[in-house]
Each structure stands twice: as C-alpha cells, then as structure tokens.
Structure 1
Amino acid sequence: MTTREPVTSAAEREINALLALHPKGFDLSLGRITRLLERLGNPHHRLPPIIHIAGTNGKGSTSAFCRAILEAQGLKVHVHTSPHLVNWHERFRLGAEGGGRLADDEVLADAVRRVAVANQGEMITVFEILTAVMFVLFSEHPADAAIIEVGLGGRFDATNVIERPAVAVIMSISLDHQAYLGDRVELIAAEKAGILKPAVPVVIGAQPEEAAREVLTGIAARLRCPLNLFGQDFFAHEENGRLVYQDEEELIDLPLPRLAGRHQQANAAAAIRALKAAGFVLDEQAIAAGLTNVTWPGRLERLAPGLIAQDAMDGLEIWIDGGHNPGAGRVIAEAMANLEERDPRPLYLITGMINTKDPIGYFHAFAGMVRHVFTIPVPDSEAGLDPEVLADIADEAGLTAEAADDVETAISAICTTTNRLEPPPRILIGGSLYLLGDVLRQNGTPPD
C-alpha cells in the first residue's frame, strides 16, 4: 500500500506547541475557560442562536442532521464537534453561503495564537483552549445558527459557559467515560443534564435506559424547561420505505435518512424537533433535502475507494464506525444485521480500542454475527489496548479473534482465507475514532 506523507499545517503546528505545554485529556471545570473568555472579551456572548447537544451516542449524527436541514433552508451554520478524525480543522466548520466550510488553515492558526496569548501561559487544557478558539471564530464570522457539541459530560464541559442556548439537546445515554462521569447511567444522565438552563427548551432523544430518561425529565421539570421527549412529544417510524415524523403540530412524510442504521431515524427526528424548538420555521422540502444530503464521516460509513484496499479482492465491502461503547456496539450490530438481510455476506471485524473503553460490552453485541475478529493497535495512541489482550477479550465475549499488525495485514488475511464460493466479505473497521482517523488518512480520503 502506498501512503501519503502527512503535511503539518500552520494550525497543527500551533496546536502541537500547546500540547507540549499543557495537560492532555480532560480536567472538568469552568473556572479556567471563564477567565480566558473574559480576557478575550467574552466572544461566547456574541453568537447566533445556539443548538447545544450532549449525549453518549448520537450527538454527532444529530448535529449533522441539524446542519444539513438548516443549510438546505439556505441558512449559514457554524458547527463545532469533537474529536476530529484526521485534521484539527474538522472541529471548526464556519457557516457560509451555499454550505459551511472547515476553517481555513491560517484563520484557525491565527485564532489559536490569539487565544494562547490571552491565556498568558496559565494552567489550562488544550480542549479548553480550542473551545475558546471555537467561540472566537464563531463570534467573528456572521451566521444564522451555531451547533455546538459537548466534548465530555455536560455540567463542567468547557462548552457549558453558554448561558442561554436556543435549545438544549440530550441524545442517547449509556455507560462511557465512567472515570469522569460515574459508573451508573443515572449519574451520567445527571452530568449530561448539566447543559439544561432554566426555562430553555430541551429535546431528549431516544433513551435505551429508563433510569436515564427519568433523571433527564426530572431535571427538566425542576428547571421548568419546555420538554420535548422522543416517544411522548415527537415520534418517528419507517413506513413503506419512508420516514414518518410526527409531533403535536404536524405529521411529515420524508425520505429515509442517508445515514445508515435504523437508529438514525430517531436521531433525525430529534434534530427536526430541536430546530423547531429553537424557533426555526422549517420548510418540509428543506427537511427532506437535509435528510437526503446529510454526511457524518466515520460513523457507519462505507469506506470510499482509496489506497487501503486497492489491491484487495473484487467486491470487498468495507464499513467504518468509530463507536466504542456497549450502546454504540448494539446499534452498529443492528445496522450490520440489516445489511445482512438485504445482502448476505460473511462479516469480519477489524478492531482497535483505547484502554478507557468497555471492549467486552462492545463485542457482546456482535456475538453470533461475526465470522472472525482481527484486533490491531490504535496508531499514535499511548492508551491503545494491546491487540493480544483485546483478542482475548473478544474470545471471552464469544467471538473468535486474533491479533494483527495493522489494517492492511488484517484485510489481506481476510481476503486470503475467504471461501471463493461465498460472496465477497463485509468488513467493519471500528472501536476507536483515533483508529478511523488513521484509516481515512492512509486511505487518502479525509473529511472535508
């Protein structure tokens, strides 16, 4: 396989310098970023209407649906998401006529430099600096809406300096980041609900755990937030190959979302309801166009033709998804099962994970579905699980597994052992967004 040599951008050089100076990871607090934003003139007070989105799973997809619908409506939309897959620029999408664009390199590098100077070398995490960069960029470029995704948790996440969003959205909650957020879904739900503000509308997406739903609705009631609860105040279901959306105001017949997986129907419904709750008057044609044109790289996405599998067998089908917790495993496995119903193929997993995740819970979701698992290192991560250890965990979950050196080696092994009388295999590469970022980089198909 031929790989492209990475090119270090100006923004990346600035951020790498900060990474060398400041702590990696998270230190959940609002004091440091509040101080920094004050020095910058409080740019977070000068933003267009904000859709603030938290959740364990689904917040990125919901952000993508919101953006696609608003842009189809002809509006300019800022979007902040994290982490990125390949380039830091992915975290900062600036609204523009005809559709948003990732921040230009020099524009981003300049904002990073200004924020670093304002911080005056004081103790802070790089995530907090980049959150301040987002507020600076969004305040300096006119737009009609800002979609801001929570980084971790909610209550003490750096984005939660937002005092009054147009709407707060909380998507599916399950166990993840237990070291920071707690080891029960009720505790995690309470942390996520920290983004709720008194009397501000809240949209609660589909919740697999009743305990989480009860915590969220209870906090919303105490804060007197107008409540929009999936399954109670708004609904979505598939009917005759179409998506039927319904709330107390209307019933809309729509195309199925472009994003793969049945769970995306509920995510799309949450996005529609969130935009309406935020005060946007939506045209039905714009909603349909948004669902049809939406993109969200690295999440149940068919890998585009590129360098990684250019020498592999004909007909090989490769999917990628960065989900890495038990809740994500369940929805990904369901999506793979739906693909199997339409187009039966032997399914293989190529998986790498970092050591803060729950791999056995993730693997359990695929029991009985997967022909074999290849476990690989997570490139450029000191926290990556040893592939031999990860293979043992997959075995413990009832799958057969073995370690491999990298994605290319695993794909080669799958192609070599495939029975030529069977359909070409379907491969799912996942378990880590860091791994997916490396796959997209090596494939020559980074997000744009």
Structure 2
Amino acid sequence: MPVETILSNARVVTANEVFDGSVVLRDGKVFDVQPGVSKVPGAEDMQGSYLLPGLVELHTDNLEKHMSPRPGVDWPSASAVLSHDAQIIAAGITTVFDALSIGDINPRGKRMQQLPQMLAAITQAQSQGNTRAEHRLHLRCEVCHPDVLSVFRDLVEDPLVQLVSVMDHSPGQRQFAKEAKYREYYMGKYHLSVAEMDAFIEEQIANSKQYSDRHRQQIVQECHLRGLSIASHDDATLAHVQESASLGMAIAEFPTTLEAAKASHSLGLSVLMGAPNIVRGGSHSGNIAAAELARLGVLDILSSDYYPASLLQAALQLADLDNDYDLAKAIATVSLNPARAAGLDDRGEIRTGLRADLVQARLHDKQVVVQQVWRQAKRVY
C-alpha cells in the first residue's frame, strides 16, 4: 500500500480560492484536495491553520551572508550552505534559486572568489541529500565586467542552473542613471575615498562602453539555446523594457520606475519586486514601491532578496492592502507565478498531481508563524 498523509481541518489556499478542507499526499504528490474535515483515522489536524503551496524564491543573496558573516571572515562553505538552507526552509521556501553573482561591482568584494566554493558546496549538499529545500542556481551576470562572459560559460552547464539575469550597475545605467546617486551609494556602502571613487567610476564607465551591449547579447543568446529563463534587472525606462522584451526575457527584476513596471507587465514580462519593499512599506533605495505596483495590478512576483522571512510575510500583507489581490492571488506571487516564470510546471500550487510542497502557517498579531513544511510529501520542518 502507498504511504499516505492526510492534512485536515486546514484553510487551504489554492491558486484561485481559499476554503476549509483537507489535502491527501501520496508518493510525493498531491493526491486529492477536498472541502471539509476528513473522517479518516490518523488524519493530521491542522487546527484551522493556513495550508499553502511551498514558496518558490527566484532571487536571494542570503547564502553570501553565511559565507561572509562578518567583514574579513570567510566561513566554511559546507556549513554556510546548511545554515542558509535551514533559514530558507524555516521561511516556508521549498524551492530556492541561490543567486551567484558573476562580476563583482564592489571594489573590495569577494563575490568572484567565492563562486567556486559556493557552487561546489550547494551541489555537494544537495547531491548528498543534506538540504531540506530544493536548490537551483540563478546566475546574476554583471555585463559590464570584463570576465563575465568567460565565467558564465564555465558555470552555465551546471545542471542546477535554470535562471539567468543580466545587470549593468555602472554609473549612468539603470538603477544609477544619476552619477551623484551612484557616488553617494558606493562611497557610503564601501567607505571609498574621493580619489578611490573617482578611479572606480572611470573604470566602470569604460567597462560598460566596451563590454555591456556585447555581453548582454551573447549571454541572452546562449540562454535561449539552453532553454533557460532570463530576467532583466533594474529596468528604468521604456527603452530598457523594449530591449528586454525584444531579447525574449521572461522576468523583469526590480524595475525602478512605474513606467518600466507597467511596460514590462504589458509586454508579458513577469514583474518581480522585493518582499522587503512590502514589509517595510517602500523601497530602501527610493525606487517605486511594490505596494503601488500591486494597487495598479502590475505586480506578479515577490522575492525575499536579502531577507528570507519577508517572503510569506509580504504575501499575507499584500492581501490586506488596497488592491485587487485576494489571499489566493497574493500567495500566487510567491508560489505559482515564480514557478511558471522559471519554467517549473510541477509545483507552485495545491493541485492534484503536482508536487506535495506545502507550508502550514498561522497568523499571530499579524505576524506569520511557519509551523510545518513538507517537500514532496516529506516533512522537512
């Protein structure tokens, strides 16, 4: 007889509705979804908690914080991955795309040096069955970096790679259209002197002119040949969005203006914004608020970015804001929508035949509390 788990007396959140019901898990998948309380002996009582699809996270730099927990401290990569994984699963995230940045725009950063260790540690932990979430890779390609194309080609054949984004963080581009803002941000964040900042700006502008367009075109072309999902990053103008759409990108990550977000949505790109933007009530960098995009109906996906616990909290808050996102639609921004945008059609909602990736959660004084998590019907938290 197949092993069967019955989760009953839950507030079941499907892709289209919310109802009191029961979900049957069998052979790693959702076997049945029914309204009402199960009468089967041994059914697990969810006590009226929400039963949600496992969250799908497309863009998180969280692993980097575990690799370098303090300035000058390099933590063993195997331990860092497991600590990161524990934090991810505790947030209700059952599928995570760990972002690996190719081309560091921090003049004192270690991202490029950490790439091989991060990749090896993720691959080993997952192959040995030591991770509780399913880990995939998101290659973040800084197209103005001289070495980005060669490093991208070294990494893109890894079977865990499924998402690639193209970025240009040089002064005068995208997020930093105004050089004064670029100077303020980098001098403040990396404690550069005026002379160091002047030299850094000069180098970045020269690199962007020499490499950005060529690298963007080549990376996108190679992604299409491999069937990988592609995301733009920090599009700010209609011209940016039109370029992204013409290159066949599926996702618009963090558009910085209302114009770019609306254009991306209308041209079929899934608009991805930061969950911390919702939780905090706005962008920490002064860009368009995610809540405003939701009010206008052009917000498709939320990402925890730098704070895993923000993902589910933001989705539940989204359903309470002044917009047309009911709970089912809000939860889809952290489950079904990111899964589809990344080409994953076997997860993202509670539906018969799909993977049994599930989260039991409740609200306490408007704070979400994750109680249990299942991945492919196995309890992992």
Both proteins in one fold, TM over 0.5? no
Q: Quick check: which one's helix share is greater?
A: 1
TM-score normalised by the chain length of structure 1: 0.25
User: Where is the strand percentage greater, Structure 1 or Structure 2?
Assistant: 2
* TM norm structure 2: 0.28
